[in-house]
Amino acid sequence: MDIKLAVLIDGDNIPSAYVKEMMEEIAKYGNPTIKRIYGDWTKPHLSKWKNMLLENAITPIQQYGYTTGKNATDSAMIIDAMDILYSEKVDGFCLVSSDSDFTRLATRLREAGMKVYGLGEKKTPNPFIVACDKFIYIEILKQENEDNEDNEQETTTTARVPKNKYDTITQKEIRFIASTIDDVADDDGWAFLGDVGGLLQKKQPNFDSRNYGFQKLTPLIKSIPAFEIERRDTANGRLKLIYVRIKEVKVAIKSKKKTSM
């Protein structure tokens, strides 16, 4: 069943240069049946959006700024989101903004059983990020698209892209991944990578292998010496399941065997 999504964009807060990559990313999660962008279209700073709206079938919603220093766009977007929620026409929402003012909206939508995807710049405050089921940085989408265009013949789904354009994997991230593996591992320390990826997302909605220059979680895990990967055949032998564990677990098991002998 195709998931129906409402895409609500804060036009005052998101650069128009990212729209192509954003819409391609959103299509991965469902069918965007409602696409609206909010702003004061009498203002010159939104002029770059106008051509993008026609190309991507996004409906502009006019919202005048009633007072200086107050963002009326946020209120209009929140009211529309609640109207859409009660109409029961969609299964989830994509909130495109870097503004923490949408934190409560994301929380409320999830309380109602909606799936909430957030898209925004890296400057987005953490409260809004963690209020979403998944949060994607739009700079990464833009960079990924540019890298793919520049290296179309060389880049594969498991290839590493230039390091200096992405976040560095630190000991903090390694400990985070390790603790998540431990949470779902069996008695031998092995964990199904699909379960690990799902739990990583629940713990930290903005965790994305693309932030570190990897298209998928598997090559990211492979790049970290602290982990090892094993591919196992399914019962019918048609598919291979990927399992991961912390290398120290293997050493510990060997030590125990030697002690017991």
pLDDT tens-digit profile, the chain (261 residues): 689 999 999 988 888 888 989 999 999 999 999 999 998 888 887 888 888 888 889 999 987 765 544 466 788 899 999 999 999 999 999 999 999 999 999 999 999 999 999 999 999 999 999 999 999 999 998 776 565 554 544 444 444 444 456 788 899 999 999 999 999 999 999 999 999 999 999 999 999 999 998 989 999 999 999 999 999 887 776 778 999 999 864 444 444 444 444
- CATH 3.40.50.1010, applies to 4-150: yes
The pLDDT, as a whole number, for residue 176 is 95
Listed in sequence order, the residues at least 6 apart from 181 whose beta carbon sits closer than 8 Å to its beta carbon are 189, 191, 196, 227, 244, 245, 246
Where are the CATH 3.40.50.1010 domain residues in the chain? Answer: 4-150
Structure tokens at 232: 């196992």
Fold classified for 163-260: Nucleotidyltransferase; domain 5 (3.30.420)
Residue range(s) of every CATH 3.30.420.610 domain in the chain = 163-260
The DSSP output letter for 172 is H
Q: Which helix (H) or strand (E) holds 176?
A: helix 171-184
Alpha-carbon gap, residue 217 to 194, rounded angstroms: 9
